[in-house]
Amino acid sequence: MTFDPGRPLSGVRVADLTMIWAGPYAAKILADLGADVIKIESPRAWDNIRTLIPPPVAPGERWWNTNFYFHEYSRNKRSLSLDLASDSGRSVFAQLLPHCDVVIENYRTDVMDNLGLTYEWLREQREDIIVVGMAGFGKTGPEKDAVGYGPIIEMMSGMTSTSGYGDDGVPYKSGISYGDPIAGIAASAAVSTALIHRQRTGQGQYIDLAQREVMSTLLGEFYMDWSMNRRLPEHMGTDHDWMAPHNVYRCAGADDGDDWIAICVRSDAEWAGLKRAMGSPDWAERDDFSDQILRWEHRAELDELVGSWTSEHSKTDIFAALHAERVPSSPVWKMLEMMHEPHLKARGFYEPLRHPEVGIWQVHGWLWRADGAGPCVVAPAPDFGAHNEEILGGLLGLSRTEQDALAAEGVIADRPANTSPASEFPATPSLL
């Protein structure tokens, strides 16, 4: 087999028991990197993300396969429906495990043990199995039974305490559920690291990855300030502790009046560049703004003056002028604009995802790109149970009769049980 530098994990098989976001994001990275990721869902307890938001087209016969949220985290994977809470489901899982290198889950702390899927049991099926548990707070300790989605993880990690406008004492969460993808990236690194370890020693391992702890590692300097000076962070809004100008400024030209550009000046040279871009206004020559320290001390007034310039121009015109002067700046890109942002477009960051019922839309491709890699997105998220036959029959050698028996028992299915569009999601699509 020729080596595909974009897919270093090809040949690795992952039993993906994850749900919602943090776990599926991890498994998505593994799938993008070439692993054969088998997304396993019970017909009775499927990944809620399928039904969290309305389908993009009129709810069709199999509407749970179509929403963008589900596709975002499960492209490039295969789908196996299997009820792990039933004896026969567990028995099939036991037959599948010898073919798997990795089991990954982000259930509540107690769920795997309650299902009888302990590390010990998993190892009995495959001795060098790598198991990754991604519970929010970890598998041990007094808070192990706490549960949380991304913003809870962000709050409990210290992250939220660092963010805020600064004038009202209110801490602010991120606009996304930041804790989730961060945990997912770390879990993907944990899998690769454990694969390296297994290759060198022959041993598998159990990885207890607490989402809160991963998030907390992105805040080292705040822990150090507490250690060294018993000081907690102040909310700085968009200010900086020595740069000025350093802010987002409102621009002209937006239909919604909500266009902004971020501009930062780190040196006298960049200040000179900003002045030229602004057309060398007289006010910029004032003694108050003649060096970095003075500009920082007078930053409130400086922000007003820079803002009055930006308010007369579009963010793309300002960005072009500042780019030419090599001043750090960027429009605050909106979601609809991201798909057309010239730089990302030139790099091919977004790739088309094709689904037979929905059509084509854009999703992000490679998070990082290996030289020589082809396209990242090779398949949409799989329909529920789409690979049952391929995996149960092809890989495990179960006969048609055996598969029919599993289906009759409700252990496998080609559709989730108990779904009804009307009751699953709100009438308005504004949940997100």
Partner 1 sequence: MSSTDHSPPDASRPYDGVRVLELAEGISGPYAGRWLAALGADVIKVERTSGDPSRAFGPWPNDQPDDETSGLFLYLNGDKRSVTLNLDTSDGREILRDLAQSAEIVIESFPPGYLAERDLDYAALSADNSSLVMISITPFGQTGPNADLPATELTLYAASGQMWLTGHPDRQPLKNGGSQPSYQAGLNAFSAVSSAYFGAIMHGQGSYIDLSVQETYAGMAEAYHTRASQLGIESQRSGNNLHATWGLYELADGYGGVCLLPRNYPPFAQAVGLPELQEDRFADAGQRLSNNDELMAILYGWFIGQTRDDLLELGIANRVPFGFVATFEDLANSEHLRSRDFFADRDDAAAGSLTYPGRLWLSSAHEWKMGAAPKLGQHNVDVIHGELGYEREDLVRLRELDAI
Of 171, 393, 410, 421, which one interacts with partner 1 (CB under 8 A)? 171
Nearer to partner 1, 76 or 388 (CB): 76
Taking CB under 8 A as the rule, which mask of x and - marks residues 178-197 in contact with partner 1? x-xxx--xxxxxx-xxxxxx
CA–CA dist 41, 58 (Å, integer): 24
| Number of residues that this document lists for the chain | 432
Q: Which residues contact 249 (CB under 8 A, 6 or more apart)?
A: 260, 261, 262, 263, 303, 306, 307, 310, 311
| Residue tagged 């297994």 (tokens) | 198
Q: How many angstroms from the chain centroid is the CA of residue 134?
A: 14
* Cβ distance to partner 1 smaller for residue 236 or 294: 236
Stretch that binds partner 1, among 25-33, 85-93, 277-285, 400-408 (CB under 8 A): 25-33
| Residues 6 or more apart whose Cβ sits within 8 Å of residue 430 | none
> Is 24 an interacting residue with respect to partner 1 (CB under 8 A)?
no
Residue 214 in contact with partner 1, rule: CB under 8 A: yes
First-to-final CA distance of the chain: 43
Q: Least distance in Å: CB of 164 to partner 1? A: 8
Q: Where are the beta strands (DSSP E) in 4-107?
A: 13-16, 36-41, 78-81, 102-105
Write the interaction track for partner 1 spanning residues 45-84; mark x where CB under 8 A is met and - where it is not: ---x---xx--x-----------xx-xx------------
Residue 283 or 425 with smaller CB distance to partner 1: 425
* 411 scored as a contact of partner 1 (CB under 8 A): no
Residue 292: how many other CB atoms lie within 10 Å: 17
Segment contacting partner 1 by CB under 8 A, of 79-87, 146-154, 288-296, 383-391? 146-154
Q: Is 226 in the site for partner 1 (CB under 8 A)?
A: yes
| DSSP codes joined into one string, 217-257 | GGGHHHHHHHHHH--PPPP-TT--SS-SSEEEEE-B--TTS
Among 279, 282, 287, 346, binds partner 1 (CB under 8 A): 346
Q: Nearer Cβ to partner 1, position 229 or 401? A: 229
The strand pairing partners of 40, in sequence order, are 80
Q: Which strand (E) or helix (H) includes residue 95?
A: helix 87-96
Q: Is 321 in the site for partner 1 (CB under 8 A)?
A: no
Site mask for partner 1 (CB under 8 A), range 354-383, x = bound = ----x--xxxx-xxxxxxx-----------
Q: Rule CB under 8 A: say whether 412 interacts with partner 1.
A: no
With CB under 8 A as the contact rule, the residue among 202, 227, 257, 420 that binds partner 1 is 227
Residue 276 as a binder of partner 1 (CB under 8 A): the answer is no
What are the backbone angles phi and psi of residue 260, rounded to the nearest 5°?
-140, 155
Identify the residue among 86, 88, 94, 222 touching partner 1 (CB under 8 A). 222
SS3 168: coil
Q: Is 31 in the site for partner 1 (CB under 8 A)?
A: no
